[in-house]
Amino acid sequence: MSTAMTARRLWRRSGRYRPHTMTGAVVAVTVAVYVVEVLFPGPVVGALAFSPANALVQADSGFQPWRMLTTMLVHAPIDLPYNVLPITHILFNMYALYLFGRPLEDLIGRGRFLALYLLSGFGGSLAVVVAALAGVPIGSVVGASGAVFGVLGASAVVQRRLGGDVRYLVVLIAINFALAFFIGNIAWEAHVGGLLVGALTGWLFVQNRGPRRRNRAVLIGVLLGVGLLVLTALASVVFGVIAQR
């Protein structure tokens, strides 16, 4: 039996264990990275975490803009007095993502959901850079909270657009946002950025539902991504000029 045939057979047999939704795939990948992080915390965090300094365009500043996305794969314990589990951070994020991501994915589709998740996470990192420009002292940022807030914001916008009751979602978003001011070491700026980008992306997608508007939705997603990249480049330049003073 050839290697290719063996690989195909193993792939077919693994079908019952593989995630069948994009939400499940994102959760699976994030959890897998977290397991590696637990085993090798220094190298994983050092390679994937994001700091505003990574947005500097100077050659000697460690310019690594891809960390604005890879930081969503890294999680750290939240320092709570009653915290007994070192996996509290990722548990909260993945539970919220699975709970609200699957219904949203059913409404807007797999591809749009993944685009929304990535754009929201990127928007959260961009908000961290903007906060650093405003003088907020920010070190390394880890976690998918910005992207999860984007999913919550998009869920509220999409359900409201379709005539659903979103009061419980608004209350949930407000409570989780307020918790950042009572619990230390939480980058609330990423929550705000992810929430705004997620809500905007969700609104644009729900306004362009259906097969006839699929190309328009793809174009909107691309344009929104390009717009965030342009804003990041501008913030990077400004941040670099300030850092040189």
Catalytic residue among 89, 125, 155, 191: 191
Catalytic residue among 51, 145, 155, 236: 145
Neighbours of 102 (CB within 10 A): 16
- Is the Cβ–Cβ distance between 114 and 201 less than 8 Å? no
CA neighbor of 186 nearest in space, from 45, 89, 67, 113? 89
Catalytic: 125? no
- CA 56/CA 236 separation, integer angstroms: 5
Length of the chain: 245
**Residue 184, phi-psi category: left (phi > 0), alpha (psi -120 to 50), beta (remainder):** beta
The residues, ordered by sequence, that sit 6+ positions from 100 with a Cβ below 8 Å of its Cβ are 151, 152, 155
Core vs surface per residue 26-63: b (16+ CB within 10 A) or e: bbeebeebbeebeeeeeebbeebbbbbbbbbeeeebee
Sign of CA dihedral 144, 146, 151, 156: positive
Strand partners, 141: 50
Tokens 């976690």 belong to residue: 143
Neighbours of 228 (CB within 10 A): 18
Q: Which residues are catalytic?
A: 145, 191
